[in-house]
Every structure is written in C-alpha cells, then in structure tokens.
Chain A
Amino acid sequence: MADRGTIRVGHISALTWNQLKINEGIVPGLPELNRQMPSGLQALPEGVSCRSMTAAEAAKWLETHAPGQEAEKFVAGKVPIYHPQKFGTGLGAEYEQYLTDSNVRTDLIEAAAGAHPDRPLICRLEYQDGDCGASARILHLGEKAALTMIIDCTSGREAAGLAAVSTRAVLERGAHLTLVFAQTLGRRFLHLGDLGVSQADDARIDLVWLDLGARDSFAGLQFEQIGRRAAVTGAMGYLVRDEESVDINYNVIQRGRQTASSFDFDGVLDGQGRKAFRGTIDFRNGCCGSKGKEMERILLLSPDTVNRTLPIILCEEEDVEGAHGASIGRLNEDMLFYMGARGIDEKTARDIMVRARLHAVIRRIPEQDLQEKLYRFVEEAFADESLS
C-alpha cells in the first residue's frame, strides 16, 4: 500500500499542554485508497431516496443546504482553530481533504419532509482483506422527517486494510435521526470514522456508536446545534485490546436557545490497549437555557493500558448548565466480593461485568440481527483471552 503520509485528525478547539499528547490524533502512514466502497444500502424504505455525487457536488450541496455553517477561524475570537472547516466534522479538515483528493463519491440519502419510514435504512460495509476503501454519505432529513439509519462496518477477523467512512447529516426543522454505527473490523485494519451533523430548530439525533474492532481506530463526531431546542443524545462503547488503539474526538457546539446534549461513553481497555478521548461541550453566546452533559466510564483490565481523557467545557453564555464526569479504574472490588459471596467465581464475575459494559450500549441498537452479531463479537473477543 502506498503511503500518503501523516494526517492530524480530531483537533480540539482549545489546546492544552503538548506534552500530554492529547490535542489531536495522529494517523501515520495513511495508505492510498484502492477501492470506492459500494453504497452497501439495503432496500430503501418508502420516502427515502439515494443518488451518488462527486466530492465537488457534495461540497456544493452542503454549501447550499447547510448555509448556517461558516469556517470558523477562532472559537469566540479567542482560541485559534488551525484547521478551519466549512461543514464541521469530528475528524476535521485534513481527513476531509484526503477524501476529496481521493475523488471519493458521496451518496446523498434524503428522507422527504414528513416521511416516517416504518423500518430502518441499513448500510452494510463489508471490507475484504487488503481493501483500502472509502465510503461517504450525506443524510438529509426534511422537515419533521424521521429516519433510523444503521451502518455496519465489518471485515474478516484477521483482515488488514483501511476503512475510511464519512457521514454528514443535515437535519431540517423537527427532523429526527436515529443513527447507529458499529465497527467490527479485522485486527489489522485502520479505521477512520467521521461524523458531522447540522441541526435546525427542534431537530434531534440519537446516536449509538460502537467501536469494537480494528487495530487503530479514529472516531470523530461533531454536532452543530444551530436551531432552537436542537437535541442530541449519544451512547458510545469501545473495546481496545492487545496493541490496539482508539482515538475519539467529539464536539458539540450549542448555538441555539434551549439546546441539549447528553453523552455516555463506556469503554474497556485490555492488553496494551491505548485510548485517547477528547470531548467538548461548547456553549456559544446566545444559547440561553441550554444543557450539556457527558460521562465517561473506563474499565482498565491490564497494567499495560494507557488511557488519556480530556473532557472540555467551553462556555460564553451565562444561562446554561454544563457537567461532565469521568470514572477510571479497575473492576469494583466490592462488587467482585459481593458476587463471590453468592458463589460466582472471580473470573466469571469479571466476565459478566465486562460484558455488561458493552451490552448496555449494544442493547440500544434497534435491530436484532446487528445486536446478536455484536454480542457474538464481544464473546469471541474475550473467549480466548484471560481477563486479568
């Protein structure tokens, strides 16, 4: 695979000390793409259409349909953003440029105003060993449309390659998107999963994101809450084993009045797994009555894991409520003792509690087949491993 060099992804708006190595994610040796992934869409539900566009057409479409977005050069005139991006996404401008330079085509998936399909739209991205493939889409939900979209990104267990996935969503007034993204790529894969969402008045997104496979995974999520009462909830689960790494950046920019964001992150680190998490709640001037909260729970199973956590709140509005929290450590000894007292040996107790972390996120997926598949993936992941 030819090497396109290093790109930086998932920059935070407000930098901190460089020595902590958490201001951004570094993707070294990004290979050239060798495959445009097929759309992977199952049958389209009623009221939903899809057409393919070039990267230039996609950019022009976003310019027309998401006019509320500007490429910011500073956060509140204070903090320089060194990679301004017109339609913000979690991984940022360098990744977007990489896809553009690679002439990646974009599927424009539209749900008509008022459409309420009775079944989810499912996208299966099945990567083969050696694939360096990109897949990009724009979801456009018209006024008061409601859509559930499930993206299942997978490959064989020992497969190698690159999965570059991009999803951008424009939610019109009152639209409701339920978005599920599950990644169970092979253990030699590099995964780049990018999401950018623009929300008008009363638009809502409920996100479930599971990052379970791949050797190195970079996930970027950004939400622009431009409209009043825009809301987002997120549940994210990740599993990092052996020498794997995951790098997560999420950024909620709350501009409209009475906007709301709520995120829960649950992760398990084992082996020599490394994880970096940057989460930003950004209350902008004028977002009166807005609320933002975020919680991260990290379970450490091995003394060789490295965990980096940076939960940020930026605030320039008085009338808001923001909160974030983090809990980092091993399994609760009291709980292990409690279960031991009830005849459950320590290994079994640990297995139960580790699985419970991820199962709690998987349960939120509104599709039985994918749920079952992910339960099996978690079982197999730990079947031949000792949870120390």
Chain B
Amino acid sequence: MTNQKVDEIDRSIYDFRYEEDDFYRIQSGLTPEIVEKISEEKHDPEWMKQFRLKCLDIYNRIPVPRWGAPIDGLDMDDIATYVRANTDMKKSWEDVPDDIKDTFEKLGIPQAERAALAGVGAQYDSELVYHNVKDEVAQQGVIYSDLESALTGPHAQMIRDHFMKLVPPNDHKFAALHGAVWSGGSFVYVPPGIKVEIPLQSYFRLNAKGAGQFEHTLIIVDEGADLHFIEGCSAPKYNVANLHAGCVELYVRRGARLRYSTIENWSKNMYNLNTKRALVEDDAVMEWVSGSFGSHVSYLYPTTILKGRNSHCEFTGVTFAGQDQNLDTGAKMIHLGRNTSSFINTKSICKSGGISTYRSSVEIKKSAENAKAAVSCGSLMLDSRSRSDTIPAIVTETDRVDVGHEATIGRISDDAVFYLMARGLSEEDAKAMIVSGFASDVSKELPLEYAAEMNNLIKLEMSIG
C-alpha cells in the first residue's frame, strides 16, 4: 500500500465569515455578573435566572473530566458566552439582515427548506434569527418555535416541566455550563397520533470569534406521533478557541417514533462538548443518525434511556477525524424496561494525524428483563500518523439478557483498491469510494440531500494533494 497523503480539507464553503458590526457581545469569561447579565438580556423569568446561577455554582464545583480528549486549550476567560446580532427573530426569510441571510444561503438552508423540510430554525451565534414552519404542519397542531418564546408563551409550564430534567446540571461539568449560559435553540411538540411526513431542521451557525454557542433543543413527540428532526452546524475557522456546549432533550412518548439526525461540521478551532439525551417510553422508537466531521475536540455521546417496555433504539454514527482533530464520540444506552432493545452501529475514520475515539456504554439494569443489545463498531486507519481507539463498556445486572458486541480495526484493503483501479478509477477515487462505502450505514439513513452533503464531506476529506 502506498502512503496516503491527504491535504487539509477545503472548507471554503463553510469558512466564510462576516465582521461583527452592530452586534451585542457580552464580556468574555464566566462570573455570576455575566450570567445575570445574560439572563437580563434574555428577559428570563425569575426561576430561570435562579436556575442559571445555581448551574454556575455547580459548574465551578465539578472538575474537568479525566477520561476524554484534552481540553487544555479551552479557557472560559477567553470565551464570550453571549453574542447577538442586532435583529430579532424573523418569520420571513426576506426580513433577515443581508449578511446573515447570505450566510445561510451559502449553506443552502433556504433551498433545503423549500425542497425538503417542513420547518426551519436558523440560529446565528446566540440567538435564532429565523424560524418558520409550514402552514399544513402547523395546522396539524405541531409546535416548532424558538425556546425563548416557548418559555414565556402558552407552553411555559411544559418547558418548565421538561427543561434540563433529562440532563440535570449536575450530570457533568458542561451540562452545568450549558444551564448557566444557554441561549437559543428550538422547542418542538408533536401532538398524539400526528405523523410529520417531512423533516424539521434547525441549523446552528457560530460566526463570532472566541465565542460560545449554547443552544437548547427540547422535543416532545407525544403518544403515537412520528417526527424526523435534522440538526446541522458549522462555523468559520479562527485561530482562537470557540466553544459549543449545546444540550438536546428528547421525550419519545408511548408508541411514538423520533429520528434525530445530525451532520456536524464545526470548524477545527471548535471545542464541541455537547450533550444529547432521549427518554423512550413503552413501545416507542428512538433513532439517532450522527455524522461528526468537524471540531478540534469533540465529546459527543448521545444517550438513550429505554424506560418503557418494548422500547427500542438504534444509533448509527460515523466520525471522520483529520488533521488537528481529536474526536471522542459514541453513544450510551441505558435499558430500564422489559423487552427493550438497542443497536449501536458506528464507523470511525482517521487520517493525517487525526485522533478518533469510539466510546460507548450499554447498561442493562436489573429491571430490564429480556433486554437485547448489540454493538458493532468499525475503525478505518488511513495512515500511521493517526490514532483510533475503541472503548466500549457493557454492564449487565440481570441474567435475562442477550448482548453481543463486535469491533474491528484495520486499513483500506489493497485488493479493493486494486480491483477498483483495474476498472478505471484513479487510486484517489478508489479510496474515496471505499471510505464512502465504509460510512454508507449512515448516509443511507439520511434524506437524499443530506446523504449527498455527507458524501461530499468525505470526498473533501479524502482529496489528495
């Protein structure tokens, strides 16, 4: 096998940026005064202000985790936790300020909305700048709004009952940080029995240098309902650290189904310390589809609590770690209910000195009789400057279980490259095709437009200079 030389990815379609003219930017750092100021700027109800301060206190008490990728380069004193464009949220795309509109148009968001989405939310730095849901979906009773509006609107109690209940602030250090400075994000409620035929999407863009984004996504899919939610994110690259510490809380009620798809493409100066969790009730189904391509450092382990009987979860993920990237990703499954089942299927690819760590846990509690779980993780090493680690844990507390686990690690087969080259492909195209095939478990689960974007990202990563 010849050495595979892969250049730094061409991210020009994501790397454009605009100056922060006429923006409100809070002082960098993390103090009670800053947290109070954010609360004031956001016109929080009093309980939320107190909640933020409590979270800050918890944040200061919890140590930095010892087990993951190093985050020494992240100094909260250098991070502005709240940056707001001088615009309120628009319902018409035409009303969004030109530079922000231009940003999202370059990313293809409005085109996607017209072609394939039931609703779109677009967040720019700390606040949503655009939110819209198609009339026919709204008429079904589906609520898709920014979280701030929901916090004070007719669903205020519902928000209060669910906000950071699934991910409590003492869960870990960055959950506490999120609780203290969260801003933006979406609230979705799908009424019982309603099936949303085409996906909703939120897109998060962090434009500001040395800033953090802390959006909160809360989705409740009520009994027998069905939803596909897509999340996308990107940022231009700076030479200082940016931080993303979002939080996603998903409630999948009895007999419901939720698919949550993410294509993450943060820039390589981003610390992506994100928390996602789903609670799944009787006979309900949770599906995660996750593509992690960006960030300097990622900690990302979507967690599913299979509480209800016969509940089921599938996690399908691909992680591609290139130069200057240390991506620590995976999933957690917690089986509580009887006859629950889960399947984790992940692929990791690393090249050009990138570090990819697959980390997971499957916990089958004593109450989860007849639980079934399977874990399959594959890793592909594209050179010997890179590193790929696989750290999957399984804990069972009852005998009435059936758990299987398999993991493999290897490189691109010389024979496969030779086969494709014998049929007219260049070596580079052959390798790109093999890697795309390796990651096809994820791309085939995405809507066509997003699968194409993911394959494009892989092709960019594989481009040989």
Q: Is the Cβ of A324 less than 8 Å from the Cβ of B406?
A: yes
Binding site for A on B (CB under 8 A): 1, 66-67, 70, 355, 357, 359, 361, 363, 366, 369, 379, 381-384, 386-411
A-B contacts, 11 listed (Cβ < 8 Å): A16-B67, A305-B398, A306-B395, A310-B391, A313-B407, A314-B389, A315-B379, A315-B409, A318-B381, A324-B405, A327-B404
Q: A303-B366, A303-B400 are in contact. Are A325 and B393 (CB under 8 A)?
A: no
**Bound: A309/B388 CA distance, A:** 20
Inter-chain contact A20/B384, CB cutoff 8 Å: no
Asked whether, in the complex, the Cβ of B361 is within 8 Å of the Cβ of A17, the reply is yes
Q: Of all chain B residues, which has the CB nearest A80? A: B66
| Contact between A329 and B66, CB atoms less than 8 A apart | no
The residues of A that contact B392 with a CB separation of less than 8 Å are 310-311
Closest 4 CB pairs of A and B: A300-B399, A15-B67, A328-B403, A322-B409
Which residues of the partner chain A approach B359 to less than 8 Å between Cβ atoms? Answer: 16
Provide the residues of chain B in CB contact with A316, threshold 8 Å: 384, 386-388
B381: which of A303, A310, A315 is its contact (CB, 8 Å)?
A315
Q: Across the interface, name the chain A residue whose C-beta is closest to B301.
A: A17
- Could you tell me which A residues sit within 8 Å of B by CB distance? 14-18, 20, 22-23, 76, 78, 269, 283, 285-286, 300-303, 305-330
Which residue of chain B lies nearest to A328 when distances are taken between CB atoms in the complex?
Answer: B403
Would you call B396 and A306 a contact (CB within 8 A)? Answer: yes
State the Cβ distance, A107 to closest chain B Cβ, in Å.
37
> Of residues A321, A327, A328, which shows the largest number of chain B Cβ atoms within 10 Å of its Cβ?
A328
Contact B407 A311 (CB under 8 A): yes
- Distance in angstroms from B70 CB to nearest chain A CB is 8
Q: Which residues of B have CB within 8 Å of A303?
A: 366, 369, 398-400
Question: Smallest Cβ distance from B167 to chain A, in angstroms?
Answer: 15
Q: Report whether B67 and A17 are in contact in the complex, using a CB–CB cutoff of 8 Å.
A: yes
Chain A residue at smallest Cβ distance from B390: A313
**Cβ distance A100 to chain B, nearest Cβ, rounded Å:** 27
A326-B397 CB under 8 A given contacts A315-B388, A318-B381: no
Residues of B contacting A20 with CB < 8 Å?
361, 363, 393, 395
Chain A residues in 8 Å Cβ range of B402: 328-330
- Please tell me if the beta carbons of A15 and B395 are within 8 angstroms of each other in the complex: no
B300 to chain A, nearest CB (A): 14
Q: Which residues of chain A have C-beta atoms less than 8 A from B406's C-beta?
A: 323-326
A2 to chain B, nearest CB (A): 33
B401/A323 in contact, CB under 8 A: no
Contact A318 B389 (CB under 8 A): no
Task: State the Cβ distance, B120 to closest chain A Cβ, in Å.
Answer: 35
CA distance A76 to B400 in the complex (A): 40
Chain A neighbourhood of B388, CB < 8 A: 313, 315-316
In the complex, A311→B375 CA distance in Å? 12
Residues of chain A lying within 8 A (CB to CB) of residue B386: 316, 318
- Given contact pairs A17-B361, A18-B67, A322-B410, A300 touches B393 in the complex (Cβ within 8 A): no
Cα-based distance from A306 to B394 in the complex (angstroms): 11
Least CB distance, B304 to chain A, in whole angstroms? 15
Nearest-Cβ distance from residue A291 to partner chain B, whole angstroms: 10
Q: Provided the pairs A285-B384, A301-B399, A302-B399 are in contact, do residues A308 and B394 lie with their beta carbons within 8 angstroms?
A: yes
